[in-house]
Amino acid sequence: MIHRVQRTIDGKDLILETGELATQAGGSVKVQYGETIVLATATMSNSAREGVDFLPLSVDIEERHYAIGKIPGSFFRREGRPTTEAVLGSRVTDRTIRPLIPKKIRNEIQVLLTVLSADRVNPHDTIALVGASAALTISNVPFDGPVSATRVGYMDGELVTNLTYENLSETDLDLVVAGSENAIVMVEGGAEEVDEKIVLDALKKAQEVNHEIIQMQKELADLTSKEKTVFEEDESDDSFSSELESFLGERLGEAIGGLGKEERTELTDQLLSDSVSNFEQNHDESKIESTFDKLFKDAVRKNILAGNRPDGRSSAEIRELSSKVGVLPRAHGSSLFNRGQTQILNVATLGSLSDAQRIDSLSPDETKRYLHHYNFPPYSVGEVRRVGNPGRREIGHGALAERALIPVIPDESEFPYTIRLVSDVLGSNGSSSMGSVCASTLSLMDAGVPIKAPVAGIAMGLVTDEKDFVVLTDIQGIEDSLGDMDFKVAGTRDGITALQMDIKLTGITDEILEQALEQAKAARLEILDNMLATIPDTREELNEHAPRITKLTIDTEKIGALIGPGGKTIRSIVEESGATVDVDNDGTVFVGATDKSSADKAIELINRLTKDIEVGEKYTGKVVRTTDFGAFVELAPGKDGMVHISELADYHVPNVEDVVKVGDEVEVLVTEIDQTGRVRLSRKALLNGSEEGATIGTDGAEDTSTRRARPNRRPRSEDSNRPRSDSRKRPGRRRPEGSSRRQER
């Protein structure tokens, strides 16, 4: 039986439907908003997965290209590895629902979110999250939901919910807020230097819409839902816990306070080893380890609530900061940023606009000219593991750092470059993604990229119990793993540019959010001061190894001639000059090269193709054909002119090929263009310096003409000093075009 719940949300119908599709899944819901449709399924295995000590939950968004009526662009013409957008959407859903599923479950839970239709108007990430919650709610999986997600923006001074793709290019805020009926669970988004108060108002606005969608899911569950699977509670052995705590004594307190990461790890490992050795005859090793972990966690949290952080800092104190720029000699921009034991090497590389990434996803975006890639090698945390393709964590952290810098990256019209930033985490002890934001800013400034303002980032943490809470600034690894919140905030002096919040609770209060944002702002300003002490402003000049981009403008009617059939002409310019050439539909041409000669050559070739030939202009062209009466010189692809034999040199030339041959490059002057468009050229005029007129221009670019060394004159014969006969001079006569000297005689 098909069950359906429908409600109008922000002027469009949101539809939740179950009972028709994927009926064998644990829970299946089709979600439709506009013409975007996502099929959400949630299924749990019947038995526990052996050998795991974590919740085996997996969440995947599967984008089908048929959803937009398109065949995939891969070699196999089928969907392959998930797109970046799919990975980020999967992470958003996972981070929202994971805290709401009992951690003790060891049965595998799989949530699949298949995009069946995409109207390229309504983003499918929030729709998928709603579907995941609805599918879990009606399934047999224990789930402390439902939850909902709403995208909220800030346009023309007003908060707007459920933004479209078109709105995303206009809004100053793009914030996805996931929440339960009682509290906010997850936050992800970017902003154009938006004030903290606007962000807080946006969170509340999103929750109003979330409550309405949550009620829809409850209505659907009332119509149809499965009985939840019951998992037995683990029996706690309070007597053994007390016994172990007594055995550890004061040594446990020594391990949780005033030590560095390595010292703490060494002491903790020794305490655990001693505990196992002492109790293994009467208790399983797994029980000893789990009890030890709980005692250690409880002790750390109690200390923090009492005002004692593991490394002795106050709750709002940042670890030691240091940074430097220009650390790699050949890089276009580079930096090394340190915050405590977290160390980031960031490298900026500039390329032409043709280096922009092509996007083959369901979103309307087709290219991307600013990229941030994040790498987290195992040695950064002193581990050994397989190194391969970037995982979800690397993609997610890179996207967050990228989002933080987007508002300050100069527009293409102002800075016509593709920008790639790479953050290599050389050491990690808390918030390497926010360290990447700081290092990225330093590298961009070192490279000479005219960013609008410096950006810094900080990670906030939380420890709370039934009575009190403490918000922590600049959390380190132990505070992240044993705490209740990881709230990353990046921005400039004027406002927030990116934020991301994950919690391990079922929700947090407005009071906690407000205090976290207030402490984050103070920390951000302190970090910015430290960064600007390293490099106060963006360098005035680009790095010497960076390509130089020259901007030209051509007649739009000439674009086809520049590109050529199948791109043949523009490719030949690139190959001949060694420069890159990019053309926009408005006639803007960008020429990129690492040396002046390559740029000048490309500009010269472009002008040959796109500028009209005029009398008085000089050209350096290639001889493409010779005849008895002269040579034809290619001034531009498809544009030839003829140099009559009498205009080849300032002496008598009996044979054309005595002076020039096919393939030679010669400098010529345009002397005449007749009514039919035929171009007459002279080489002799340049040899005796009698030319008039300007060199071909470059529309504001640097003059690109180059004077070639003239060929050696043909040696004159022994009797060459005798006067020429009148019959040979023939003053005032011109041979008909196409006639030979023999015919003329």
Q: Residue 454's domain is classified under what CATH number?
A: 3.30.230.70
Task: Say how many domains are in the chain.
Answer: 5
Q: Is residue 316 part of a domain?
A: no
Q: Is residue 420 part of a domain?
A: yes
Residues 591 and 624 in one domain: no
Range of the domain at 480: 321-534
Tell the residue number behind the tokens 């160390």, with chain if given: 343
Query: What residue type is 33 in one-letter code?
Result: Y
CA 503, 504, 506, 508 torsion-angle sign: negative
Residues 33 and 171 in one domain: yes
Q: Is residue 122 part of a domain?
A: yes
Residues 49 and 139 in one domain: yes
Q: Is residue 240 part of a domain?
A: no
* Domain end residue (candidates: 594, 610, 626): 610
Interatomic CA distance for residues 498 and 494, integer angstroms: 13
Residues 603 and 499 in one domain: no
Query: Count of CB atoms within 10 A of residue 236's CB?
Result: 10
* Domain end residue (candidates: 610, 639, 664): 610
Radius of gyration, alpha carbons of the chain: 35
Q: Is residue 589 part of a domain?
A: yes
Q: Is residue 708 part of a domain?
A: no
Q: Is residue 631 part of a domain?
A: yes
Residue-by-residue DSSP string for 406-468: GGGSPPTTTS--EEEEEEEEEE-SS-HHHHHHHHHHHHHHHHT---SS--EEEEEEEEE-SS-
Q: Is residue 360 part of a domain?
A: yes
Residues 464 and 568 in one domain: no
Question: In terms of DSSP bridges, do strands 342-351 and 418-427 run parallel, antiparallel, or are they unpaired?
Answer: antiparallel
* Domain end residue (candidates: 223, 255, 270): 223
Q: What is the mean pLDDT of each run of 10 residues along the chain (745 residues)?
A: 96 97 97 98 95 93 95 86 94 96 95 97 97 98 96 96 94 96 94 96 96 98 94 77 91 82 89 93 89 93 92 94 96 97 97 89 90 96 90 95 97 92 96 96 97 97 92 95 95 97 89 95 97 96 90 89 89 91 90 88 86 86 92 85 93 92 93 90 81 38 35 39 38 40 35
* CATH code of the domain covering residue 738: 2.40.50.140
Tokens for 193, please give them: 């230097």
Interatomic CA distance for residues 582 and 696, integer angstroms: 21
Interatomic CA distance for residues 138 and 25, integer angstroms: 11
Residues 258 and 146 in one domain: no
Residues 12 and 131 in one domain: yes
Residues 376 and 430 in one domain: yes
Residues 526 and 582 in one domain: no
Residues 415 and 529 in one domain: yes
* CATH code of the domain covering residue 603: 3.30.1370.10
Angle CA 190–506–487, to nearest 5: 30
Tokens for 113, please give them: 């979110």
* This model's pTM is above 0.85: no
Residues 51 and 92 in one domain: yes
Query: What residue type is 133 in one-letter code?
Result: S
Interatomic CA distance for residues 335 and 728, integer angstroms: 75
Residues 124 and 150 in one domain: yes
